[in-house]
């Protein structure tokens, strides 16, 4: 989980002590855009961003 938090922090996602995350619009857009790339799966992108697959939608 620390690697995911470090990755998200590098993108500008604010992670509070409670676990709540504040996602900049540009990061949300990037996550959804990555699911639209040829060969990408929603599940793989969700794992990379540390979220549930059903949280990603266009």
Digit-coded pLDDT (tens) for 6-54: 888 898 999 999 989 999 999 999 999 999 999 999 999 999 998 999 9
The pTM of the full predicted model, rounded to 2 decimals, is 0.77
Domain limits at 50? 2-55
The count of domains in the chain is: 1
For residues 22-51, b (16+ Cβ closer than 10 Å) or e, as one string? ebeeebeeebeebbeeeeeebeebbeebeb
The candidate with the shortest Cα–Cα distance to 31, out of 6, 9, 2, 53, is: 53
């Amino acid at each position: 989980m620390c690697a995911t938090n470090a990755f998200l922090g590098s993108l500008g996602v604010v992670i509070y002590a409670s676990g709540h995350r504040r996602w900049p619009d540009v990061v949300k857009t990037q996550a959804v855009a990555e699911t639209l790339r040829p060969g990408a799966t929603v599940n793989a992108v969700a794992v990379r961003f540390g979220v549930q697959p059903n949280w990603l939608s266009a």
